[in-house]
Amino acid sequence: MPQIVFLPHDEICPEGAVIEVEPGVTVCDAALANGIEIEHACEKSCACTTCHVVVREGFDSMDEADELEEDLLDRAWGLEPESRLSCQSVVSEENLVVEIPKYTINQVSEKH
């Protein structure tokens, strides 16, 4: 069974976490099911960027992002080449290492 390693995040997952998941589950659903309260303002409908993550290892094992996800990612805070929306990132048979960015676009706009 593949594992997702969540790197430490000051607020959401201070110690980091390693969880086992079934292939076919999204990164967002896996996180939420294991007490990692990743933001998902659009209720996982691929309509915002609040569940943005950076897949540090295992990125190529997932299906490619579709055009809608790519368009949304263009608006994400801290966008990187390995960025994905966790609600659209389906775990395959390979392990993943995932970083939750420090901010979401919601948090950045609230601070200004």
For residue 44, give the nearest of 59, 33, 54 by alpha carbon.
33
Q: What is the pLDDT of residues 40-67, one digit of tens each?
A: 999 999 999 999 999 999 999 999 999 9
Q: How far apart are CA 25 and CA 10, in angstroms?
A: 25
What the chain holds in terms of domains, given with CATH numbers, is 3-111 (3.10.20.30)
pLDDT of the residue at 37: 95
Q: Is 18 helix (H, G, I), strand (E, B) or coil?
A: strand
- pTM recorded for the entire structure: 0.91
- Tell me 90's DSSP state: B
CA distance from start to end of the chain: 43
Pair 95, 2: CB distance under 8 Å: yes
DSSP 62: S
